[in-house]
Chain A
C-alpha cells in the first residue's frame, strides 16, 4: 500500500510549465444592452462552439476532479474567479484575457491545451465569445471556495510557533531515582504511563557510549580501565569534562553541523572543486571546540561579512563563516542568470529554513504554504534579503565568489619575497627562450613519431569533439601535420589524447604544439591521472620550451584503466588552439632523455640553463605560498525588495514585498531593514534572538537527537504542522530555556543531557516495558545506536593504529579542479576526507553518510548487502584488519591475551566464552605461517560484527 496521495498534498514547488503572467484581479463587466435575438445567438454560439471545447479540451485538468494551477473552468463564475495567475478571462476584452493568450500559443510559458495548439477557427470562436461578453449559462454547483489567505494569528497556535515557556519541573513519586531535572521530566511521564526506567548501563558500556557520543572514537582499553576503576562519585562527570575539552569533540560535533549545513567541497554538475571550502569546515570544528555561543555561530554564518571584527583574524573567521551560504548545489551553467539567482536564493532559504528554523520555507515559493502559516509574501520578504546579496559572478558557467583573506604581516612578507623571485626568474627564462627559439628554428622539419621516446599519441589518434583542421603550415610537427580549431566554436571543441598504458606508474607528460602570435594564450588542458583530474592553462603564443616543440605538463601517476588522458579544449581560448601530439614518458626515462630527437647534438649551454631554470621555476611555483581566500558573499550595491514571483516564475512578477522575516515566528517589533543594506545582518539578529521560538527549540532538539539517537521531536528538520509532535513538550521548552539562560552554550547543554540518569540507562528493558512502548518514545531505556559512517571508518583506523589525528587544513591536492575520478587515499579522520559530491569516499557512502546536497539532520540507517560486500571484500577493510592483527601480535604473547586485547580494542569488552571457543577453534588449525592470516580474519570478522556496528 502506498501512502494516501491527495493531489492537494502536493506542493507545486516547480514553477508550472504552463502558467504565467499575473493579472490584476479585476473583471470589467461590460454592460451592453442586448436584444433577445442577440442573446439567443450568443447562447447558441456558446453551446455550439464553446461548451464542447471546454468539455473536450479543458475540464479534464480544470474541472471538478482536478484544478491545475488552482483553476476551474466548469462555470462562468469559476472562470472569472480564476486560478493562481488570476482570472481566466475578462468578458469583453479578449486580448487581455489569459484564456485567449493561452490558446493562441504566443507566450511560450503559457500554452494551452499543453499537447497541441487548437485550430485557428476555434481560437477565433473563443475570442468572439469573450468579446461578446462571454455568455455562459453554466452555474457553479455550490459556493466557490474563497481564496484563502493565511491567518498568521491562528497559525501561531501550532506548538512550535508559541513562545518558549519556562516550565516548572514536575513532581515525581520516586524521588530517589532522578539525578537531574531532565530525569524528573522523563520519570514523571513514565510514571503517568505506569512504566519505570530500566537499570543503569554498566560502566564499560557507559564509557564506550560517552567516548563515541562526545568524541566519535572508542575508548582505549586503558581508558576503559581507568574509568571502571575510578570509584569516586564524580568519576563520570570528570570523564565527560575531559571528553568535552578534547579537540576530538569539535571534530565529531562539527560533523553533525556539517550534515545540517549540506557541506561539500565540490558541485554536482561539472564537479568543480571548491578549493576554499575546507576553511569553513575548520571554522565549524573550531567553533565547537571553543564553544562559540550558538546564536553568534549562526549570525556569523549568515552575515559574518557584515559584522564588526576585532582584528584581521576575527574578520577572516567571520568571512569564512559565510561560506555556509554558498556551498549549496547550484547549477552554475544555467543559462538564464536571473533564474539562477532566484534558484540560489531558494536553495539558501530552503537550507536556512530546515537547518535553523525547522521550516519548509521553500514550499511558499510558488504559493502560500499549504500547511504552515507561511504566506508566499514571507518567502519573498526573505528572498529580498538574499536577492540583495551576490553569490556568484556570472559567466557562461558562473563562478562562486572568493575574496582574499587578510594576510598576517609574516604572510605578507613571504608573499612579497615569492613574487620578486618569480619576476626575476620569468625575465631570465623569457630571455633565454628567445635565444633558444631562434636556435631551434634553424633546424626545423617534421619528426617521425617513431623516433621519439615514450608513448606517443599523435593528433591523428586523438578523439575529436567539434571540427579541427589539419595543417602543415609550420613544419616543426610530428607525424603528418598538426590540428587547430580555426579559432572558432570556443567551448565546443576538444581533443582527447588517450593512451592505454601497459604499466601503471609515474609518467611525465609532454604536449607538442606549434607556437605563433595568433595562438591562444590560455589554452585549457585537462589531464586525467590516477590521482584525479589536473587542470592547467598554457600559453601557446610562447615557443614550446623544449626544442620549440614540447612543453612538459608535469609528472603524474597513471593506472592501466584507460583513464589516462590529456584533453586539450578551446573553452575560453583567446586565439587558435593548436595540438600536435602528446607523449607519456616513464619518469625514470625522462630523467635521462628529453623527447627531442636532437637533444644530444645541439645541447647548447642555453638549453641546459633553460632546463635548469625551468625546473627551478616549476619548483618555486609548486611551493608558492598560498594566497588564503574565503568563499563568501557580498551585498549588492543597490539592495532592493523583490516582487512576488507568481508560481515561482521569474517572468511572472506580482506585488513587491518589503524585506523581512517569518511573521508567524516574530513576537517583537523587528528593526526596519535600512534601504542600503541587504538585511542579512538583521536576519541574523532575528534568528539569534531569544524571542525567536524556533531557533533554540530546533537546536536543543538536534542536540538531543545527536546524543540519544532520536529527537524529542523526531522530525528534526521539520517543526511545521506536517512534522512530528514533541514527545515531551515541556522538557523541550525547559532545555531551550536553559540553553538561552546559559548563553547558547552547546557544551553546557551536552553536559547536562549526558550527566542525566536517563542518558546512562541500559538499552535493555523488560518485555512489558518494550511491549508498552516499542518505539521507546518515553525513554524508559536508552536507544541502541548504529555507528555512523565516519565513526565506523575512524574506529577501524584507530584500532589498526593507522588513524592520522592531525587537525585542519586543506586535504585536496592543489591540482585537482574537478572531483570526477578522484581517488581517496587519506587516513585522516573522516571529517577531513574531501567531501566530493560526485565522488564520496566509498565506505562513507555505503554506510549512509549525509547527502551533502540538502540539510540532513537525521542520517538514514540502511542495512543492505553492499555494506556486507564492502566489509567482506574491500581492500581497505582487509588491509586494516591485517595491520591491526600485526600490531597486536607484537604486544601480547598468548592466544587468550591476544583475543582479549582484540575484543577490548574493537568492542570495548572481553570476549564471551562462546566467542572465545569459536576463535580458538578458528585458530587451532593454523600453523605458524597461516596464523597471521587467521588473526587478520578475526579482526575482519570483528569489524563486521554486530557489536562493532552498534553502540549500546
Chain B
C-alpha cells in the first residue's frame, strides 16, 4: 500500500490539482508515498456537498449556555437550592459523584425572538435578531474538563495524541479555491491551550497547515500573514530580488529538465510572489463601505477588533479560503469566557462579539454566501448551571452545552437536543463533538469514515472510530 509512485512532473500535477496553495508546490513530494500519493490523487468531495467552506467563531474559555441560548425555567425556579450533581471536575479529581452544588439562575433575562419564538437571554441582543437563521444544538458533550485537552479535542478530535486539525482535514479533503491564498486560515489564534497544535497539520503534508494571521495578543488591524510583506525593501527591490532568484534557478535547473522536485521549488517562488501581490488586497478592508463597517461594529471601541476579524473572515471566504477560524480569546490559562468567579464579566465578552457576529451573518446572507458557508459558533465546552464553590461564577461543563450553526445546509430556526431541566447534562438527542465533526464534514461532501490518511501503518481520521451524522439538523 505504500508503493512509491514515480514523481509526477509539474504539468501533470497541475492537471490533477485540487488544492492550490502550497499543494501546487507538491507538498512532501520527495518523501515518497507516505505523503505524496494521497495528496496528488485526492479529488474533491465524496458526494455532492451542501457547503463549500466553514467559518468557525471560536469562543475560547467556554461561554455559558444557560445564560445565553439554553432556556431553563426550572433553573430559575430552583435558584439557590443545594442539590447533588455529577460535577465533571470533581469526578475527575476525586471520583466523587453527586457533590452538593448551589443552583444559580441565568444572570440575563430570557425572552422570545424571531418568527420561531426562540427563547434567548438578553446577553446577545444582535444575534437574537438572527435566531430564525440559526440551528441550535443544545445537547453537545465533549472530552476534557480542563481548557487544554478540551480545546485540542475541539480542534483535532483528540486531546492526548498529535492529530491534524479539522481545518487541515477539510483542506486535505477538498483543496482550496484560490491558488494565491492558503486554504486554511486562523485569525488571531491563542498561544495557550495547545497553541499551534490547534491549527497544525500534524502528520498530514505541510501544505495543509493552518496559516495564522496575527495572534490573540495582536490587534486585528496590525495582523497579517508571516513574511508576506517586506517593509525593508521597496517594491522595485523586491521584484528585482525575485527576478534574480527566478533567473538563477532557471540556470540551475538546466541540467535537470523536467525534474518535478526542482520544478516544485521554482513553482513555490512563483506562488509566493503571486501571494505577495494578491493577498494584501484581500487582507485590506479599506474598500469596504461605511455601512458594512458599521454593521460589524468597526469603529466602535468595544467591537472594533472582533468586527475587523469577522469582516476579514468574510473577505477570505469570498476569496476562496476553505476554512477560516476566528478566535475570540487570549493567551492566558483562563481565557476570555472563563468566568469561574465573576459571571457578570460575560457581558463584556458578549458586547465585544455580539454585533460583529450578527454583522457577519447579515453580510454573508445579503451576499448570498450563507447558502454554501457553514458558520459555527461555540466554545470548547459550556459552563455549569450551579455556582462554582458556592460563589458567583460557573465551572467548566463538558457534559452539556450549546453551539449554533448557520447556513451551509443546516436547518434554520430549529433547536436540536436538550440538556436536563437545569442545563447540566445533555440528555436528549445527544451530540458528541465527534458527531459535530462528522456532520460538518458531511455537509462539505466528505464522508468522515472515508476521509483517511495513512501514517505509521494505520489509517487515521478526524473522528477516530467514532462520529455519527446528525441528520435531524440537516435541511
Q: Which residues of A contact B (CB under 8 A)?
A: 1-3, 5, 7, 9-14, 16-17, 68, 108, 114-117, 268-271, 329, 331, 333-336, 343, 354, 360, 363, 371, 464-467, 488-489, 492-494, 496, 561-563, 567, 710, 714-715, 717-718, 720, 722-724, 774-775, 777, 784, 786, 820-821, 838, 842, 848, 851, 853-854, 858, 860-875, 878, 912, 914-915, 918, 922, 933, 937-938, 940-942, 944-947, 949-950
Q: Given known contacts A715-B2, A717-B456, is B338 in contact with A335 (CB within 8 Å)?
A: no
Q: How many chain B residues touch A (Cβ–Cβ < 8 Å)?
A: 122
Q: Which residues of B contact A722 (CB under 8 A)?
A: 457-458
Residue in contact with A868 in the complex, picked from B197, B272, B465, CB distance below 8 Å = B272
Known contacts A775-B6, A918-B247, A944-B245; A863/B332 CB under 8 A:
no
Q: Does B295 contact A (CB under 8 A)?
A: no
Kindly list chain B residues whose C-beta atoms are within 8 Å of the C-beta of A784.
261
Cβ distance A929 to chain B, nearest Cβ, rounded Å:
14
Contact A331 B22 (CB under 8 A): no
Tell whether A872 pairs with B449 under 8 Å between CB atoms, given A331-B149, A343-B160, A918-B251. Answer: no
Q: Please, could you name 28 A-B residue pairs with CB atoms under 8 Å apart, sorted by A? A: A10-B464, A14-B161, A14-B465, A14-B466, A17-B143, A108-B91, A116-B430, A331-B149, A335-B92, A360-B456, A360-B457, A492-B340, A496-B332, A562-B217, A714-B2, A722-B458, A786-B30, A820-B192, A838-B195, A862-B29, A862-B205, A873-B230, A878-B232, A918-B247, A918-B251, A946-B252, A946-B262, A947-B252
CB < 8 Å: which of A465, A860, A922 contacts B334?
A465
A871 to chain B, nearest CB (A): 8
> In the complex the two chains form, is B464's CB within 8 Å of A863's CB?
no
Q: How far is the CB of B281 from chain A (nearest CB, A)?
A: 16
Q: Which of B128-136, B221-229, B315-323, B350-358 forms contacts with chain A?
A: B221-229
B272 surroundings in chain A (CB, below 8 A) = 865-866, 868-869, 872
Nearest-Cβ distance from residue B385 to partner chain A, whole angstroms: 18
Residue of B nearest to A862 (CB): B206
Interface of chain A, main secondary structure = loop
Known: A5-B450, A915-B251. 16 other contacts (CB 8 A): A14-B158, A466-B340, A466-B342, A488-B341, A561-B217, A714-B2, A775-B4, A858-B34, A863-B26, A863-B268, A867-B268, A872-B272, A915-B252, A918-B248, A946-B252, A949-B265
Query: Any chain A CB within 8 A of the CB of B162?
Result: yes
Please give me the 5 A-B residue pairs with the lowest Cβ-Cβ distance, nearest first.
A722-B457, A868-B272, A862-B206, A335-B92, A269-B148
Q: Are B162 and A872 within 8 A (Cβ)?
A: no
Q: Which residues of A contact B251 (CB under 8 A)?
A: 912, 914-915, 918
Contact A270 B25 (CB under 8 A): no
| Contact of A114 with B430 in the complex, beta carbons under 8 Å | yes
B331 within 8 A of A: yes
Q: Which residues of A contact B391 (CB under 8 A)?
A: 467, 488-489
Quick one: given A853-B162, A869-B272, A942-B248, are A3 and B206 in contact (CB under 8 Å)? no
Q: Which of B36-44, B69-77, B374-382 contacts A (4 or more CB under 8 A)?
A: B36-44
Tell me whether A864 and B146 are in contact in the complex, defined as CB-CB below 8 angstroms, given that A116-B429, A336-B92, A946-B252 are known contacts. Answer: no
A535 CB to nearest chain B CB (Å): 12
Given contacts A860-B31, A863-B27, contact A494 B332 (CB under 8 A): yes
Interface string of B358-391 (1 = CB under 8 A from A): 0000000000000000000000000000001101
**Is there contact, CB below 8 Å, between A941 and B6?**
no
Q: With A116-B430, A861-B31, A865-B22 given, is the CB distance from A363 to B458 under 8 Å?
A: yes
| A922, B275: Cα distance in complex, Å | 25
CB neighbours (8 Å) of B46 from chain A are 2
Bound together, the chains give a CA A492 to CA B147 distance in angstroms of 13
A9–B458 contact, CB under 8 A? yes
Contact with A along B441-464 (1 / 0, CB 8 A): 000000001111110111101001
Q: Are A873 and B342 in contact (CB under 8 A)?
A: no
For the complex, is B49 an interface residue (Cβ under 8 Å from A)? no
Q: Across the interface, name the chain A residue whose C-beta is closest to B207.
A: A864
Q: Does B167 contact A (CB under 8 A)?
A: no
Do B191 and A821 have beta carbons less than 8 Å apart?
Answer: yes
Which of A271, A853, A912 meets B192, CB within 8 Å? Answer: A271
State whether A489 touches B340 (Cβ < 8 A): yes
B125 located at the interface, meaning its Cβ lies under 8 Å from any Cβ of chain A in the complex: no
Across the interface, A946 reaches (CB within 8 A) one of B192, B242, B249, namely B249
Complex CA gap A941/B240 in Å reads 10
Is the Cβ of A335 less than 8 Å from the Cβ of B93? yes
Contact status of A863 and B194, CB under 8 A, knowing A494-B334, A914-B251? no
Alpha-carbon distance A922/B273, docked complex (angstroms): 20
Asked if B54 is at the interface of the complex by the 8 Å CB criterion, the answer is no
Q: Is B244 an interface residue (CB 8 A)?
A: yes
Q: Is B138 an interface residue (CB 8 A)?
A: no
B41 nearest CB neighbor, chain A only: A1
CA distance A941 to B244 in the complex (A): 6
Known contacts: A467-B341, A720-B457. The answer to whether A864 contacts B202 by CB under 8 A is no
Q: Contact check: which of A14, A334, A714, A868 meets B32 at CB < 8 Å?
A: A714
User: Which of A820, A858, A870, A915 has a CB less than 8 Å from the CB of B195?
Assistant: A820
For B269, the closest partner residue in chain A by CB is A868
Instruction: Find out whether the CB atom of A946 lies under 8 angstroms from the CB atom of B265.
Output: yes
CA distance A672 to B37 in the complex (A): 47
CB-CB under 8 A from A914, the residues of chain B are 251, 254
Other-chain residue from B42, B196, B341, B431 in contact with A1 (beta carbon distance below 8 A): B42
> In the complex, what residues of B have CB within 8 A of residue A114's CB?
430, 432, 468
Proximity bits, B245-284, A CB within 8 Å = 1, else 0: 1011101111000000110111011011101100000000
Given A114-B432, A941-B241: A875 and B232 interface contact (C-beta under 8 Å)? yes
Are the CB atoms of B333 and A270 closer together than 8 Å? yes
Q: How far in angstroms is the closest Cβ of chain A from B59?
A: 16
Q: Which of B92, B93, B148, B227 contacts A869 (CB 8 A)?
A: B227
How far in angstroms is the closest Cβ of chain A from B283?
A: 14
List residues of chain B with CB within 8 A of the CB of A718: 456-457
Q: For A561, list chain B residues within 8 Å (CB).
A: 217-218
A329 to B261, CA, bound (A): 34
The answer to whether A851 touches B249, judged by C-beta atoms less than 8 angstroms apart, is: no
* Contacting residues, chain A, for B240 (C-beta < 8 A): 937
Least distance between A939 CB and chain B CB atoms (Å): 11
Tell me whether B219 is interfacial, beta carbon within 8 Å.
Answer: yes
Partner of A863, one of B1, B29, B334: B29
Q: Which residues of A contact B205 (CB under 8 A)?
A: 860, 862
Tell me, yes or no, whether B393 is within 8 Å of chain A by CB.
yes
